[in-house]
Amino acid sequence: MEDKNHTRRKRYSGSYPKKFSEKYKEQNPDKYIDTIEKVMRKGNTPAGMHRPIMVEEILSFFDIKPHEIGIDLTIGFGGHSKEMLEKLNHTGHLHGIDQDPLELPKTKERLESYGFTTRDFTLHQINFKDLDQVNEKGFDFILADLGVSSMQLDDPQRGFTFREEGPLDLRMNPNVGIPAHIVLLQLSEFKIEQMLVENADEVYAKQIAHEITKEKQQGHFIQTTQELYKVITSALKQLPKAILSEELKKSASRTFQALRIEVNKEYEVLYELLEKLPNHLNPGGRVAILSFHSGEDRLVKKAFKQSINEGIFKSIDGPIIPSKDEVYHNPRARSAKLRTAIKA
């Protein structure tokens, strides 16, 4: 007999699902492995998944030995961590940090499903600037893969994407800090322009800051991702038709990136982390940092140079960029820069 409570899933229009909520197959990789493979072959990241970047380069640099103690400061989907745990092969220990309370429990389950247990790893839902809270004397290897995960980017309810409607939030930890729509309310026109330039080199910063402020002055408070996208569209409306759509996409990506950096205080926490980092490395310990935009990379480069000048690090390397092949198969890797250092 048919289950009366069963409701048919709403069919999406066209041949492929476009919205995050329609991509139920991609969000159930165990059940729909063919779909996952098809999506990845096309160079896309399946919804709800994150593909780790420059894994071979990182693993070859770390050269993990049995019984070592490591930490993944940005565990995300656990892609890098799974590989590092495999290298440890149930010896030593891996700590994993992430500030995202929504994704971290899923990562724990995922790592457990690969056969790793709390004897192999410990997860900490904290900001990496609070690394001191992890009860370990020193680490042999430390990884930071900065920025947001694909799971955060793709889920419209988190507010990181302008491609779908959702609340304009953009917090990696929704329990801490101020959501983006309130930040926009608090910032003056000048401060918005400054934020767009400093955090994302936005070319139309002046026009976008002006349009956002005009909306506020008229009593229209931007609450959602699509509302902000509409305001950016108005700010760019004078551009020639031939370039408008391309420029709009780029400007919207940069505006959302700038807001995300502001909301999550990304420069401040990275600066704090970089100051503490050398103290947490054992002699000969290795650190690898993957960054995704020039502001972040500049901070890492400066900190590493300072530590080598002071004799704290014995060697530094980078920036190393992903291979053409990796970028082809995973376009989200295109702006990655890897810097590494070894403690004296």
Ligand X SMILES: C[S@@+](CC[C@H](N)C(=O)[O-])C[C@H]1O[C@@H](n2cnc3c(N)ncnc32)[C@H](O)[C@@H]1O
Residue numbers at the binding site for ligand X (CB under 6 A): 50, 52, 74, 76-80, 97-100, 103, 127-128, 145, 147-149, 172, 269
Q: Which is nearer to ligand X, 216 or 280 (CB)?
A: 280
Distance CA(185)–CA(165), nearest Å, equals: 19
CB of 230 to ligand X, least distance (A): 28
Q: Which is nearer to ligand X, 52 or 156 (CB)?
A: 52
CB of 148 to ligand X, least distance (A): 6
Q: Which is nearer to ligand X, 209 or 258 (CB)?
A: 258
Alpha-carbon separation of residue 83 from 32, 72, 116 (angstroms): 23, 11, 11
Alpha-carbon separation of residue 46 from 28, 55, 290 (angstroms): 10, 18, 21
CB of 125 to ligand X, least distance (A): 9
CB of 245 to ligand X, least distance (A): 28
Distance CA(152)–CA(39), nearest Å, equals: 18
Distance CA(128)–CA(134), nearest Å, equals: 10
Q: Which is nearer to ligand X, 205 or 287 (CB)?
A: 287
Pairing verdict, β 121-124 and 93-97: parallel
E strand or H helix that includes residue 322: none
Distance CA(25)–CA(8), nearest Å, equals: 15
Q: Which is nearer to ligand X, 167 or 174 (CB)?
A: 174
CB of 292 to ligand X, least distance (A): 8
Residue pair 134/154 in contact by the 8 Å Cβ criterion: no
